[in-house]
A = this chain, B = another copy of it.
């Protein structure tokens, strides 16, 4: 579980670096699909990740609007702030938490029960899905997107190889 979060954080960081070479008007431009723009997507990803981690801890959610974070610097700053709490929670994750229950209300008013294991995987795939959208918009800008590869990032090193080094 934790390795997939680390994957997302690594890929996200590379997208921030990618953004450095893109004019800000392109980062803010309205695009088809998803939440409708590159920087808005990155904001949405960190908002949603943090909000779920807050909910699991019984803490208040994040409710601010993208309009207040509409620059790369502001989004990165917000990310750095949220990341401390998110990474601490993910770092403490263990299988005994899988079946904890979250009682939540959906946007259309239904009361639902999700297991914590579902929420964590929801947060993971949420980001990967939105990053896939960025990859299309990158190609529309004639730019190479960040690799989505999980392998080759050293995310789960081989114990055997480490021992032999």
- Using CB atoms and an 8 Å cutoff, list the residues of chain A in contact with chain B: 3-4, 7, 31-34, 98-99, 101, 106, 112-115, 117-119, 121-122, 124-126, 128-133, 135-140, 145, 148-152, 155-161
Contacts and interface: CB of A to CB of B under 8 A. Distances in A.
B125 A33 contact: no
B4 A113 contact: no
12 contacts: A7-B125, A31-B136, A33-B136, A33-B139, A34-B135, A34-B139, A101-B158, A101-B160, A115-B156, A122-B150, A129-B131, A133-B135
Given A33-B139, A34-B136, 15 more contacts: A4-B124, A31-B136, A32-B136, A32-B140, A33-B136, A33-B145, A34-B132, A99-B158, A101-B158, A112-B152, A113-B158, A121-B156, A125-B150, A131-B132, A132-B133
A59 to B, nearest CB: 19
Give this chain's copy count. 2
Nearest to A8: B125
Contacts of A113: 158, 161
Most buried by B among A112, A151, A160: A151
A92 B7 CA distance: 24
Given A132-B128, A133-B136, A150 B99 contact: no
Nearest to A148: B129
Contacts of A150: 118, 121-122, 124-126
A33 B126 CA distance: 19
A32 B139 contact: yes
